[in-house]
Amino acid sequence: MSKPLSILKIESSVRGGASVTRRLADRVVADLLRGAPDATVVTRDVSAGLPQIDEAWVGANFTDPAERSAAQKETLALSDELVEELRAADVLVIGAPVYNFAIASTLKAWIDQIARARVTFRYTENGPEGLLTGKRAIIAFASSGTGLGSDVDFASGYLRHILGFVGITDVTVVAADQMLTLGETQVEAAERQAEEAVARLLAAA
Q: What is the DSSP string of the chain?
A: -PPPPEEEEEE--SSGGG-HHHHHHHHHHHHHHHH-TT-EEEEEE-TT--PPP-HHHHHHHTS-GGG--HHHHHHTHHHHHHHHHHHH-SEEEEEEE-BTTB--HHHHHHHHHH--BTTTEEEETTEEEES--S-EEEEEEE-SSPPTTSTT--SHHHHHHHHHHTT--EEEEEEE--GGGS-HHHHHHHHHHHHHHHHHHHHH-
Strand partners, 53: none
Among residues 73, 13, 78, 22, which one has the least CA distance to residue 50? 78
C-alpha dihedral sign at 9, 105, 166, 88? negative
> Annotation-wise, does 79 bind a ligand?
no
Residue stretches of the annotated binding site: 13
What residue numbers does the annotated binding site for FMN cover? Answer: 13
